[in-house]
Chains A and B, each alone.
Chain A
Amino acid sequence: MENSTKVENKKVLIKLEKVGKIYKTGQIVYEALHDIDLEVTEGELVVILGPSGSGKSTLLNVIGGLDNATSGKIYFGDDEITAFNDTRLGKFRARDVGIIFQFYNLVPSLTAYENVDLMRDLGIDIIDPTEALGLVGLADKSTNFPSQMSGGQQQRVAIARAIAKKPRLLLCDEPTGALDTNTGREVLKLLQDQSRIDKRTVVMVTHNALFAEIADKVIMVKNGTIDEIVINDNPKDAFDLEW
C-alpha cells in the first residue's frame, strides 16, 4: 500500500518539523506530541488514526492554529504558522481553514442559513449560504434552527459552514462520532468529495480504523508520536464502507 513517489509529485500544503506539545496543569506535565514530522499535500484526504489520548486531536489543533505547538515548526504553504501571533492565526483560520467538529458546534440561536452566513461576518468572501446548504443537500432547511434538525443534518450544516468560505484545508475532528452508520457514511462521502472533486485538502481525526480505507494517507498516532504513515493507492468510496 505504501508508495512515496506518488506523494512527491504533489505540492506540499502542510509541513510539520519536530513539532512538540506539552501541557502543564499545576505540578503535572503532560507531553501530548513529541517530535512530529509530517507532510500533507494539496487535495489529499488524510486520516489521523489513534486510540483515545494518543494526541490525534492535539495534532489537528496545532495544524489548524487552534493551539500553539510548544516546539518545532509548522508550515502552511510557504507561511510558518508557528511564527504567527494570535491575530494572524485568527486570520489564517478565517481565510484558509474550515473546521468540522464532532458535535457540530453550530450556534443554536441562529438558523442554518445564518450559521453559514456567519462566515461573512469574518470579512471574507463566501459562496451564497443557500448554495452552500444546497451542496450538502439542505437547501430546504435554511430557516431551521439546529434544535429542529437531526444530528446528520446539523453536521451537514457544519460542513456547509466550513466549505462556504472555500478554504484550502478542511479539518475534521471525529465528524461522524455522534452519528449513526448511514448518516455517518453520507457525511464521509461529502468530505471525500471535497477532496476528490473540489481538490481540497481534508485532514480527519478518528479512532475508527475503518475510515482508513477512504483516505489517501493514513497517519497512525500513538503516545504523541507518529507510529506509522500509510499511503493508500486505492481509497474506497465512502458509500462502500461498512461498520
Chain B
Amino acid sequence: MTKNLVIKLIRDLRENFVQFLAIFLMCFFAMFIMEAFDAVVTGLGNSVDEYYKETNFMDIKISSEGFSREDLSLIMNLPAVKNAELRYTTNGKVKHKGKEKKLEFNFIEENEVSKMLIWKGTPYEKDQSGIWIDRYFAEKQGIDVGDELQLICDGVEFDESVRGIVENPDHSYFVIDNTYTIPSIGDYGYAFLDSGDYPGEYVQFDSIYIDLKNVSNQFELTEADKKETDSVKLEIQNLFSEINISCVSKKDEEGHDALHGDMESDETLEIVFPCLFITIALLGIVSTMTRLVLKQRTIIGTFKALGFAKGVVFMHYITYSVVVCLLGCILGAVAGWFSLGQYILDIMAEYYCNPYQRLEVSPRIIIVILAVVGMSALTNFLSCRGILSLRASEILVPEPPTVAGAGIIEKAFFWNKLSFASRWNIRDINRNKIRTLAGIIGVTLCTALMLTAFGMDELNKGVVEWQYSGLTPSNYQIGFAPETDYGTVYEYSRQYKGQMVEKLQTDITKDDKRGLYYVTVMDEGNLYRFQDDSGKYIRLPDMGVAASARVMEEMDLKIGDTVSFRIPGVKEKFKVKIYTVYKEPYEQGIAMKRRFYESINGEFKPNQLFTNMTVPARYATEREEIISVFSKDEYIRSYRLKSQATNLEVYYVMTIAVLLGIVVMYNLGVLSFAEKMREVATLKVLGFSTGSIRWILNQQSLIIDGAGTVTGLILGKKLLVFAMSNLDYSADYIYRISYMPYLLSVLISFVLSIVVNSIISAKVKTINMVDALKGVR
C-alpha cells in the first residue's frame, strides 16, 4: 500500500476509534484466552513427555497384598513386558526439627521403571542404605542431603541419612491418603529406600511397576498404546486369577488422569470462548466495515475515477480489519501468556509436581492467528465488495433505497390498525433483513456468553453447597487406615453418632467396557445422601445398586444392566444390577446399601465415618487407626482453593461478555442509525418531533434485543451445559440454575441496549437535515 493510503488508513482508524477498538478488543480477548490455555496445555504436555521419558514412567502398576520374586518373574516373562520392578509402599512418619510429618515410604530393589529424578545428592544404587526424599517436602521442611532423619515405618522407629532430594513421576499429583481432596505439596512427602533398609522383619512387596516394550513414554497415549496396555492388563489379570489384584494402567494413574482431565478442560476453554469472541469480532468487522465503506462511498468512487486499480482499493479497505485483527491477536496472545497463562501455571504448580513445567508456544496459535486474520480479510472483502465492485460512475451517485415488496404482515388485516412507528419498523426490518439478523446474532451471542458466565459461576459455587450441604451434610469426616477392623470403626460410629461408609476405587466392568471408579457401600444414616438429576433425594435400592450418571454415560449403561467389580483382597467377583441413577459431582461410581452388599457375600469394611459431632484434628496424628480428620469448612476451603483458577476464568468471561455486549450493541446501533440517517432526516423535515423519532428507533432496537435475548438464553443454556461438562471430565453437575443468571443476563442485555440506544438516538436531535438529504436521488 502506498504512503498516502497508509496515512489515510491510520487517520480513518483514529476517526473510527471506538468501532475498531471493539474489533481489536474481541481479537485481543479471543487470543488472550486461547494463548493462555494453549501455552499451558502445550507446555505441560511437552514437559510431561520429557519427564516421563527421562524417568521411564510405568505403563502398568499392579497391586495386591503381596508379590513375590516369582510373581515378578511371571510378569517379566510376558513377551510384551520390557521391565518390571517390585515395590512396597506404606505410610509412616518422619520426625525432623521437632516436627512429625506424614511420609510415604517406597521400598525398592531397582530404579529403572518410574525412576527417581535426582535433584540433589547421589543416585540410587541397589543395596545402598539411605533415604531419597521428596524435593518439595524437603524444601518446605528444611531437609537437605546428609541430614539424619528419624523415621517411623510399620510401627518401627529407625534413622536414615538423606542421600538424595528427588522427584518422581508417580507422585506428580500426590495425595498421601484418600481423605485428602487435593494435594497439599510439602505438608507430607514420599521417600525411596532400598528394600534392604526395611526396618521390619521381612519386606512384603505390594506392587509391581511394569514397563511395556511397545508403549511409548509420551503423555498422550496413542490408540495403539491403549490397545497394547489393555491387552497386557488382561494377560496379567489372567496370570493372577487366583489372587485379587488391582491393575492400573498409565492413563488411570491418579496424577496422569488428573493432569489429563485439567488439560482437556483447558483445551475446551481454549476453543469455546475464543470461537465465540472471534465470531463476534467478525460480526463487528461486518458492521464496522459496511458502515465505513458506506460512509466512504464517494471516496471509493473518487479513487476509482482517479484511476486507482480495483485491487489497490480492495487491498486498502481490507487492510483496515487485517491490521486491527493482527494487532489484537498478537497483543492478546502476548498478554495472555504473561498474565492468565502464567497465573494458571502457578495455580497448577500448587497441585502438580513437574520439574519441567513451563509455558510453550505451539504452532497452533500461529495458525489460528493467521486464520483469524484471513477470516477477517474475507469478511471485510465480502462486506466491501458490493460497493467496490461497482463502476466509478455508479459509486459516485448515492445508493438507491432498498426495493422490497409488501411482507405477509403488511397484507394482514391488522396492518392498518398498527401505529406509524410499528409499521415503519416492520417495513424497515423487512427491507434490511441482513442488518436485522446481524443485530439479533450480536445480541444472541452476548446474552449467551453472559448466561454461560453467570451460570458457570453459580454452578461452580453451588457445587460446594451441593456436596457439603446436600450430599454429605456432616460437619466432620474421619478417614480410617486400610487395616482398621470393623469393630474399631463401629465404636467410633457409636461415640460420634456417625454414619459408616466403605469407599474404594476399583475397576468396574461390563462386557469389554472397563473403568476405574468408586464403589461405595453405605451403612444406615442420613449423613451421606444421593440425588437424581433433578436434585430430588433418592433412596438406594434394597436389591442392586445405583450408578452415577457419569458412569452410565461413560460405560454406555442403562437401568437393568449388570456390572461387575472386584474388591482388593477378595477373590470373588461381584455382579450387581443397576436399579437407579444418581448425580454426584466428583467421585463417580456405584453405590449400594450395606445390607445388599452383605447379601452378596461382601464384607463391609468401613473406611470413612461421617458425623455432625466435633472430632479433634489431633486424632489424625495421635491415633494409628485414624489417617485423617477433616471438617466441612476445611473441605470447602480446599475446594475453593482448587477452583480459584476456574473462577478467575469465569470472571474473565463475565467481564468480556459485558464489554462485548456494549461494543456489539453500540456498533450495530451506530451502523443501523447511519443507514437510517436519510429516513430520519426526512421524518424530521416532515415535522416529526425528536421524541417520536427516537421512540421509533428505540422500538426497533427493543424488538431486536428482545429476539436476540430469547435466542441468547436458549443458546446460553446449551453452551453452559457444554462448557461445564467439558470443564472437568471427572466432575458432574445438576445443570439446574436459578432464575438469577437468566435475570442478570436479560437485565444487563436490556440495560446495555437502552443506554446504547439512548446515546445513539440522541443524535436525532443534532442531525443536520440539509447534509443528510444532500445528494438524494
Contact = CB atoms under 8 A, between A and B. Distances in A.
Contacts of A108: 299
Given A66-B392, A109-B15, A122 B7 contact: no
A93 interface: yes
A61 B305 CA distance: 9
A90 B310 contact: yes
Given A110-B4, A110-B7, A94 B393 contact: no
A110 B8 contact: yes
Given A109-B8, A110-B7, A99 B299 contact: no
Sort chain A's interface into a size bin: 20 to 34
A110 B10 CA distance: 10
Contacts of A66: 304-305, 391-393, 396
Contacts of A86: 310
Given A105-B298, A109-B8, A118-B4, A64 B305 contact: yes
Contacts of B298: 103, 105
Contact of A105 (B7, B15, B299, B391): B299
B397 to A, nearest CB: 9
Nearest to A61: B393
A22 interface: no
B301 A105 contact: yes
A123 B110 CA distance: 78
Interface string B1-21: 011110110011001000000
B4 A97 contact: no
B776 interface: no
B68 to A, nearest CB: 86
Interface string B371-394: 000000000000000000001111
Which of B5, B391, B393, B400 is most buried by chain A, counting CB atoms within 10 A of its CB?
A: B393
B306 interface: yes
Contacts of B509: none
Given A67-B391, A101-B396, A105-B301, A122 B308 contact: yes
Contacts of B79: none
Contact of A121 (B2, B15, B391): B2
B368 interface: no
A109 B8 CA distance: 6
Majority secondary structure of chain B interface residues (helix, strand, loop or mixed): helix
Interface string A63-74: 010111000000
B487 interface: no
B434 interface: no
Contact of B305 (A95, A99, A119): A99
B305 to A, nearest CB: 5
A157 to B, nearest CB: 13
A64 B308 CA distance: 14
A120 B403 CA distance: 41
B307 interface: yes
Contacts of A91: 307
Contacts of B391: 66-68
Contacts of A118: 4-5, 306
Given A107-B299, A121-B4, A93 B307 contact: yes
B302 A105 contact: yes
B306 A87 contact: no
A75 to B, nearest CB: 19
Contacts of B3: 117, 121
Interface string B136-153: 000000000000000000
B5 A121 contact: yes
Nearest to B1: A121
Contacts of B310: 86, 90
Query: Interface residues of A: mostly helix, strand, loop or mixed?
Result: helix
Give the residue among A86, A93, A105, A107 with the most B Cβ atoms within 10 A: A107
A122 B306 contact: yes
B309 interface: yes
Contacts of A64: 305
A114 interface: yes
Interface residues of B, number: 28
A20 to B, nearest CB: 15
A219 B624 CA distance: 115
Contacts of B393: 58, 61, 66-67
A203 B309 CA distance: 24
A108 B396 CA distance: 16
Contacts of A90: 304, 307-310
A67 B392 contact: yes
A87 B309 contact: yes
Nearest to A114: B4
A103 B302 CA distance: 11
A190 B403 CA distance: 43
Nearest to A158: B302
Given A61-B393, A110-B7, A121-B4, A101 B302 contact: yes
A68 B8 CA distance: 29
A95 B306 CA distance: 9
Interface string B560-591: 00000000000000000000000000000000
A26 B404 CA distance: 12
A204 to B, nearest CB: 16
Nearest to A91: B307
Nearest to A97: B307
A203 to B, nearest CB: 14
A213 to B, nearest CB: 28
A61 to B, nearest CB: 4
Interface in B195-229: none
A207 B305 CA distance: 22
Contacts of A95: 307
A106 to B, nearest CB: 8
Contacts of A97: 307
Contacts of B12: 109
Nearest to B316: A121
A121 to B, nearest CB: 4
A107 B301 CA distance: 11
Nearest to B775: A103
A110 B301 CA distance: 16
A81 to B, nearest CB: 13
A122 B309 CA distance: 8
Given A66-B391, A101-B302, A105-B301, A92 B7 contact: no
B300 to A, nearest CB: 10
A161 B307 CA distance: 13
B289 to A, nearest CB: 16
Given A66-B392, A109-B12, A94 B302 contact: no
Contacts of B2: 120-121
B4 A94 contact: no
Contacts of B309: 87, 90
A67 to B, nearest CB: 4
Contacts of B15: 109
Contacts of B392: 61, 66-67, 93
Contacts of B7: 109-110, 114
Interface string B738-777: 0000000000000000000000000000000000000100
A26 B403 contact: yes
Contacts of B394: 67
Nearest to B15: A109
B576 to A, nearest CB: 75
A109 B11 contact: yes
A28 to B, nearest CB: 11
27 contacts: A66-B391, A66-B392, A66-B396, A67-B393, A67-B394, A90-B304, A90-B309, A93-B305, A93-B307, A93-B392, A94-B307, A95-B307, A103-B298, A103-B775, A105-B299, A105-B301, A105-B302, A105-B305, A105-B396, A107-B299, A108-B299, A109-B7, A114-B4, A118-B306, A119-B306, A121-B5, A122-B308
Ranked nearest first, the 9 interchain pairs of A and B with the lowest CB-CB distance are A94-B307, A121-B2, A109-B11, A93-B307, A67-B393, A105-B302, A61-B393, A66-B392, A66-B393
Given A94-B308, A114-B4, A118-B306, 15 more contacts: A61-B393, A66-B391, A67-B394, A90-B304, A91-B307, A93-B307, A94-B306, A97-B307, A101-B305, A103-B775, A109-B7, A110-B4, A110-B7, A114-B7, A122-B306
